[in-house]
Amino acid sequence: MSHSPYDSWLFSDEPLQAREAEELRHHLASCPHCRALQTAWGEAHLDLMRLPAVAPSPGFSGRWEARLSFDRRRRARRQSIAFLAVLGAGLAGAILGCAWLGICSPLRWLDLGDLLTGGVRWMANTTALYYVGRQILSSLAGPISPVAIFGGGGIVTAAAAGLVGAWLLVIYQINWSQAQKGAQR
């Protein structure tokens, strides 16, 4: 004979629905195993309720809070190290990738003037692209929603493609300006 779900209903702290309680009553009337289980669990539950509550040892909460604080600091330190490692690996990969593809030379980055002007130009281009994109999307928000244009899942893809396109445009402009400087020298 199957005792499921009756055995789990016996141990449940949740109140049973009327239909479940009626099914359990009928099952207990015909099943000596589940009746014995109900009696044993009832007695064990009463014994557990009669036990006095045990207080923690002195200083437990202070030790627990100190340990929790230590664990949080250690977790934050590990996350910081992992973040910096991933960031460093990504930066190294980008530099090596640019050098391998011949897009830019990492040795040129050592020239502080070129680095600063390139950074300012990149920030200006990025800011301009942000404002242009914002204007385009705000003009489309009224008559046509972006969801209708790109489709539900396509918005993220379109945004990523736009960012990659903007990045490539900036790289192209920096290389073009460096090529012109090289031709003038």
* Per-residue pLDDT, 167: 80
User: Within this chain, do residues 114 and 185 fall inside the same structural domain, yes or no?
Assistant: yes
Number of residues in the chain: 185
16: containing domain: 6-50
Q: Which range is least confidently modeled, 68-72, 79-83, 123-127?
A: 123-127
| Amino acid 63: pLDDT | 94
Distances (CA, A) of 86 to 3, 77, 80, 89, 97: 54, 14, 10, 5, 16
Phi first, then psi: give them for residue 103, nearest 5 degrees: -70, -40
pLDDT given for residue 68 in this prediction:
94
Q: Report the percent of the chain where pLDDT is more than 90.
A: 10
**Per-residue pLDDT reduced to its tens digit, 5-55:** 888 888 888 888 889 888 888 888 989 988 888 899 888 888 888 988 888
**Is the pTM above the cut of 0.85?**
no
Q: Is residue 149 part of a domain?
A: yes
Average pLDDT of the residues in 83-92: 85
The answer to whether residue 100 sits within a structural domain is no
**pLDDT score for 59:** 92
Residue 130, pLDDT > 70, answer yes
Examine the domain organization and report whether 185 and 109 are in the same domain.
Answer: yes
Give me the number of domains the chain comprises: 2
| Pairwise pLDDT comparison (87 vs 152), residue with the higher score | 87
Residues 109 and 181 in one domain: yes
Question: Is residue 59 assigned to a domain?
Answer: no
For residue range 89-116, list pLDDT tens digits in order: 887 877 777 666 666 665 555 566 666 6
pLDDT at 74 over 90: yes
Burial of 174 (0-12, 13-18, 19+ CB in 10 A): buried
162-172 pLDDT tens trace: 788 788 777 77
Residue 171 is assigned to a structural domain of this protein: yes
Instruction: Give the pLDDT of residue 157.
Output: 62
pLDDT confidence bin for 60, thresholds 50/70/90: very high
pLDDT above 90 for 126: no
